[in-house]
Amino acid sequence: MDFKIEATNCLGFPDSELSELLNDVYVGEGYTEAELAESLFDAAAIRSRGRIITASNTENQRLAGLVIMVPPTSNARKLAKEDEVEVHLLAVKKEFRNNNLGSKLVSKLILQAQDEGYKRIILWTQDSMKAAQNLYEKLGFIHESNFIANGRDFYLYHRTL
């Protein structure tokens, strides 16, 4: 199976496809409550966070995965400083997993952040997201600290560029 990885901001994908991906991964797998997801995964809100990097299946052009690079100027920024970007909402559809898409998406984000002159990338992931933690560590992210938000344990990671 072949995939196209690009910074598209999801302009070629309908809102329903974007929301469906995030709901399937985050709500369907128990990481986010459905009520919270309604506002979190609103397509317009997602598009406004920052640069959306997508993976699409070249056979049918369907959205297979995404990750968002949130700049320090975005209202969605939570922890990034002026010379840092944040990683938000890495998601890959179950049917497309085991194709190295998560790694390809984050690697594209790293290159994009370097090209734009950022010095550091930060992200946080839930304690239960072990596969994501392993992926980030393989790509050079370092576990920095832990924190609790909305009753959930999160791990904070960073990567210097």
- Evaluate whether 110 touches 121 at the Cβ level (below 8 Å): yes
Gap between the Cα atoms of 149 and 67, Å rounded: 21
The pLDDT-based confidence of 151 (bands split at 50, 70, 90) is: confident
pLDDT tens-digit readout, 124-134? 999 999 999 99
The pLDDT-based confidence of 13 (bands split at 50, 70, 90) is: confident
Burial 104-118 (b: 16+ CB within 10 A, else e): bbbebbbeebeeeeb
Mean pLDDT of 97-109: 96
If we measure between CA atoms, which residue out of 101, 105, 151 comes closest to residue 128?
151
- pLDDT at position 8, please? 79
If we measure between CA atoms, which residue out of 89, 78, 77, 72 comes closest to residue 147?
78
The larger pLDDT score, comparing residue 98 to residue 8, is at 98
pLDDT tens-digit readout, 68-96? 999 999 999 999 999 999 999 999 999 99
pLDDT tens-digit readout, 15-59? 899 999 999 999 999 999 999 898 889 998 999 999 999 999 988
pLDDT higher than threshold 80 for residue 11: no
- pTM higher than the cut 0.75: yes
CATH number for the domain formed by residue range(s) 3-160: 3.40.630.30
